[in-house]
A and B are shown apart, each in its own frame.
Chain A
Amino acid sequence: MTDLHTLTVAAARVALAAGTLSSYELTEALLARIQAVEPRVRAFITLTGEQALAEARAADATRRPDSGPLHGIPLAIKDVICTNGVRTTCGSAILETFVPPYDATVVSRLKAAGAISLGKLNCDEFAMGSSTETSAFHITRNPWDLERVPGGSSGGSAAAVAALMAPASLGTDTGGSIRQPAALCGVSGLKPTYGRVSRFGLVAYGSSLDQIGPFARTVEDLALLMQVIAGHDPRDGTSAPVPVADYCAALSGEVRGLRIGVPGEYFVEGMEPGVEQATREAIAVLRAQGAEVVELSLPHTRYALPAYYIIAPAEASANLARFDGVRYGPREPGESMWDEIELTRGRRFGPEVRRRIMLGTYALSAGYYDAYYKRAQQVRTLIKRDFDAAFAHVDVIAAPTSPTVAFKVGEKLDNPIAMYLSDVCTLPINLAGVPSLVVPCGFSQGLPVGLQLIGRPFDEATLLRVGDAYQRLTDWHTRYPAL
């Protein structure tokens, strides 16, 4: 087998269980693929190939009929998720040398399920960005066009899966950071309901918005990963004690009778025609299978972006206060304690992170709290109500993911507002806390387009069912970039 690196998680599971494939062979194949394409894509910050091979050998030696659901399956993890003994940088110079002494809950759960880590994936610094260009380490390229960005902030997670360097990966999504890169790289990605997946060990950006979720090339694989990472965690006070559905069993292929709402507000002015066309065609595919499609309105959509850019930076300004070089990470030498702290923060945070810290600090400062933070929270409530009202009538909402396909490296880096607008269709979902799935649904200008499916809180099962049904009817998800 020369193309082991193209195996999905589900296919690899079958082969591993049947004994026709060893975890060592699979890991070796993926590392060979990484060696071949990573110099051009640059999805990883830290590769742990040796460790992965050793774990694969151990997995092969310990395989039993009742081994964990991901036994011996190599994956990769966004570098904002803590891994015990493996450097975790958040794409920032301020954490260049930080090696966590503990595993995030999702990492513990993946390990318990038998998964192997290939390494840590590049992202925008502290997950702040939509292009993976704000990483302090390097730019990650879109495997479909190396002149273009993979999206962000989880650009490394999307690019690694799209470039067949890993069958699946973990990313995080605060305002679209899983879904937008999934769309731009032509892979599947799920942002779970807020509280569905533990955030313990996720280096926080916007604590009330952050969720960890999976990337893969099929919805079936997303279901397999979700089954492992979802569930209540007593170490995360915001994780919900809601039972986890059997996601794989939910993949019935059936959409008949499903009510799909299409919000007019998401087809924004200036949207790329090819994106709108691919999105509407995807919805038509579901309608043809017996789903009922209705137009609907989410009237407060236009206020999501300004509300998000107050709430997320406000939370970030406090979350990032701990990075002072005193306890971990590099420290810039200075005249005094305060001098060292100021120099470390001033020099080692990148410009986008500094911008958001200042935005958030301003929004929370005395005399401005009511006008900004409090008002933004009120807007958030209105946005939540939009979704509550919509879900009284429909089961799923279908919308575009990003107004455009992948843009050129450097195109928006100097224009924060243009960059922020890239997430205009994904931000409201985080503010509402609802789950959202992206699946590839075609191409525009030769670049991938993703369909966004939004569900009721904790109803990931329905999203996965619809996404899987769509992938049974289409082959967009089976197309690979020529690298």
Chain B
Amino acid sequence: MPEYISTIGLEIHAQVRTASKMFDGCSADYAGSPPNSRVSVVSLGLPGALPVVNARAIEYAALSGLALNCTVNQRSIFSRKSYPYPDLPKGFQITQYDEPLCSDGWIEIRLASGATRRIGIERLHIEEDTGRLIHADDGSSLIDYNRSGVPLMEIVTRPDIATPEEARLTFEKIRQILVWIGVNSGNLEEGALRCDANVSVRPAGQAAYGAKVEIKNINSFRFVERALAFEIQRQIAVLEAGGVVTQETRGWDEFRGETVGQRSKEYAHDYRYFPEPDIPPLVLSAEWIAARRAELPELPDARRARFESGYALSPQDADLLTLERPIADYFEAAVAAAQAVGGTPKDVANWVLNEGFRLLKERNEPAVRLVERMPVAHLAALIDLVARGAINRNVAKQVFEASFDSGADPARLVAEQGLTQISDSAALASVAREVIAANPRVVAEYRGGKTSAIQYLVGQMMRATRGQANPQLARELLEAALAAEQ
């Protein structure tokens, strides 16, 4: 069996988070709204309605283009893409065709192997979303136009993607960037971000690409990887059997775990693109584009690099702390607060990644909830308590969890529950004597040369003090008492 090379390109549709729709003042915030309650003359495409470009949507799209290292074109034009479908109330979609807003960018993905790959972005253009058709059980179809006219960016990668893993990473990276700069909610379940994948395979050594199959509407990262893995194997099997791969559109059936050919007439169209006569060419000045560039925040990759070098974090920790911008911001604010009380960036990273993320996972909450669960002031207070020796690490973990769940200030929790570490030598010395008296066998082992037996005695002291003993001090006092009694 010859080796096969797969070639993948993604088309990602991302809703732009504007208050109003792409071509009029109609509210774009339709999540949870009753059907057809976020509609207007324009978004319903009523006779006589005209589109007027949403300036904020253009700003956000340009910002996205810059974040994806694209050129923002000073001139771009809108076009009409004609296809009949009832979810498209005008019978055509206003989109951009041969002169898009942004072109020629790239992103970098980091593979599980640690290697990085650069994936080209062919273009980013702006268009309008469609309504949604719901087929009822009785055979009738219902249409909800709330989504109709919501601003959408279509981001098209170059066919630089070689594996399903790279495809998933590309989709994830683009999502991360768009959410990071605040132009997209990142919500795949609600359809705020959707992915189509084009894939072909060819035997190694063959220059010409194989027939391209488009897989439509894949709405999770996992499915992108699985759908492509399935489709690549399917195409290879067709070629192995001496068959020919047909250029077609397929859908991902998540229940069967297969891609399925779509013979529906909705995909067999000549779109008859032509320039939208209702919208003059979009002309952006160099100054305007420079202003967008100036608005661009530090992007996740740059921040990760800075976290690694500036805070001496491991690549893994830096990666986890820069997945989402609120977490990265939170981390930096916490570092500043912690350093003021003698904590280190590593302390903060450990608390966030070990305790914070663990609890979030247990409570089934998204990472950004940490910002509210454990405000910077609380985390800093906790680090302060540990640094001052007021509580030990084990108690601190309990306090973290209690604070995480109740929202209470760790200092108050420690005070109220009497959790302060016992560092009083006189008090602990008497506990040490009691422990020694109660454990003659262990004491004998220790004296017999098994010095590690002291760990057990320290544990007994911690137990006797409900974990509040300063473990270091407890050990010292035990050692001193054992030596004295000899």
Assess whether A100 is in contact with B52, with CB atoms less than 8 Å apart.
no
Which B residues touch A366, using CB under 8 A?
Answer: 270, 272
- Which of A237, A314, A315, A322 touches B47 (beta carbons < 8 Å)? A322
Q: Chain B interface residue count: which class?
A: 20 to 34
Residue B244 interfacial (CB < 8 Å): no
Q: Chain A interface: which of B102-110, B274-282, B323-331?
A: B274-282
Q: Name the residue of chain A whose CB is nearest to the CB of B92.
A: A318
Residue A333 interfacial (CB < 8 Å): no
- Which of A95, A234, A237 touches B278 (beta carbons < 8 Å)? A237
Residue B141 interfacial (CB < 8 Å): yes
**Bound-complex Cα distance A89 to B356 (A):** 64
A207-B277 contact in complex given A236-B52, A322-B91, C-beta closer than 8 Å: yes
Assess whether A234 is in contact with B272, with CB atoms less than 8 Å apart.
no
A369-B274 contact in complex given A236-B50, A237-B50, A321-B91, C-beta closer than 8 Å: yes
Give chain A's interface residues, CB within 8 Å of chain B: 81-82, 88, 90, 95, 98, 100-102, 104, 199-204, 206-208, 234-238, 314-315, 317-318, 320-324, 326-328, 337-338, 341, 361, 364-366, 369, 373
B99 to chain A, nearest CB (A): 14
Residue B90 interfacial (CB < 8 Å): yes
**Bound-complex Cα distance A361 to B270 (A):** 10
Assess whether A82 is in contact with B280, with CB atoms less than 8 Å apart.
no
**Bound-complex Cα distance A95 to B84 (A):** 18
Which A residues touch B280, using CB under 8 A?
Answer: 237-238
Which B residues touch A235, using CB under 8 A?
Answer: 24, 50, 52
Q: How many residue pairs between the two chains, A and B, have CB atoms under 8 Å in the bound complex? A: 105
Residue B143 interfacial (CB < 8 Å): yes
Assess whether B89 is in contact with A373, with CB atoms less than 8 Å apart.
no
Assess whether A322 is in contact with B265, with CB atoms less than 8 Å apart.
no
- Which of B50, B53, B90, B272 touches A199 (beta carbons < 8 Å)? B50
Q: Name the residue of chain A whose CB is nearest to the CB of B24.
A: A235
Which A residues touch B24, using CB under 8 A?
Answer: 235
A200-B48 contact in complex given A237-B53, A237-B280, C-beta closer than 8 Å: yes
Query: What would 24 A/B residue contacts be, using CB atoms closer than 8 Å?
Result: A88-B48, A100-B47, A101-B46, A102-B41, A102-B48, A200-B50, A202-B48, A204-B47, A206-B277, A236-B52, A237-B280, A238-B280, A317-B82, A318-B90, A318-B272, A321-B84, A321-B91, A324-B86, A326-B86, A327-B89, A328-B47, A364-B82, A364-B273, A369-B272
A318-B274 contact in complex given A90-B47, A238-B280, C-beta closer than 8 Å: yes
Assess whether A321 is in contact with B274, with CB atoms less than 8 Å apart.
no
B341 to chain A, nearest CB (A): 55
A338-B265 contact in complex given A100-B48, A102-B41, A238-B278, C-beta closer than 8 Å: yes
Which B residues touch A207, using CB under 8 A?
Answer: 277-278
**Bound-complex Cα distance A478 to B90 (A):** 45
**Bound-complex Cα distance A323 to B47 (A):** 9
Convert B75-101 into 0s and 1s, putting 1 for each residue whose CB lies closer than 8 angstroms to a CB of A.
Answer: 000001010101001111000000000
Q: Name the residue of chain B whose CB is nearest to the CB of A329.
A: B47
A314-B48 contact in complex given A237-B53, A324-B84, A324-B86, C-beta closer than 8 Å: no
Q: Name the residue of chain A whose CB is nearest to the CB of B25.
A: A235
Assess whether B46 is in contact with A100, with CB atoms less than 8 Å apart.
yes
**Bound-complex Cα distance A129 to B162 (A):** 57
**Bound-complex Cα distance A341 to B91 (A):** 12
Assess whether A203 is in contact with B47, with CB atoms less than 8 Å apart.
yes
**Bound-complex Cα distance A300 to B45 (A):** 36
**Bound-complex Cα distance A24 to B375 (A):** 72
**Bound-complex Cα distance A320 to B80 (A):** 13
Assess whether A314 is in contact with B274, with CB atoms less than 8 Å apart.
yes
Assess whether A321 is in contact with B92, with CB atoms less than 8 Å apart.
yes
**Bound-complex Cα distance A364 to B81 (A):** 11
**Bound-complex Cα distance A326 to B143 (A):** 10
Q: Name the residue of chain A whose CB is nearest to the CB of B270.
A: A366
**Bound-complex Cα distance A206 to B41 (A):** 20
Q: Which of B45, B52, B274 has most A Cβ within 10 Å?
A: B274
Which B residues touch A328, using CB under 8 A?
Answer: 46-47
**Bound-complex Cα distance A365 to B273 (A):** 8
**Bound-complex Cα distance A101 to B91 (A):** 20
A177 to chain B, nearest CB (A): 16
Assess whether A361 is in contact with B272, with CB atoms less than 8 Å apart.
yes
Which B residues touch A200, using CB under 8 A?
Answer: 48-50
Assess whether A324 is in contact with B91, with CB atoms less than 8 Å apart.
yes
Residue B159 interfacial (CB < 8 Å): no
**Bound-complex Cα distance A338 to B133 (A):** 14
A173 to chain B, nearest CB (A): 16
- Which of B41, B82, B141, B278 touches A321 (beta carbons < 8 Å)? B82
- Which of B52, B82, B91 touches A234 (beta carbons < 8 Å)? B52
B39 to chain A, nearest CB (A): 10
A-facing residues in B42-64 (Cβ within 8 Å): 44-53
**Bound-complex Cα distance A274 to B98 (A):** 50
Q: Which of A202, A236, A337, A361 has most B Cβ within 10 Å?
A: A337
Which A residues touch B51, using CB under 8 A?
Answer: 237
Q: Name the residue of chain A whose CB is nearest to the CB of B271.
A: A366
Which B residues touch A323, using CB under 8 A?
Answer: 47
Which A residues touch B82, using CB under 8 A?
Answer: 317-318, 321, 364
Assess whether B48 is in contact with A82, with CB atoms less than 8 Å apart.
yes
Which B residues touch A81, using CB under 8 A?
Answer: 48
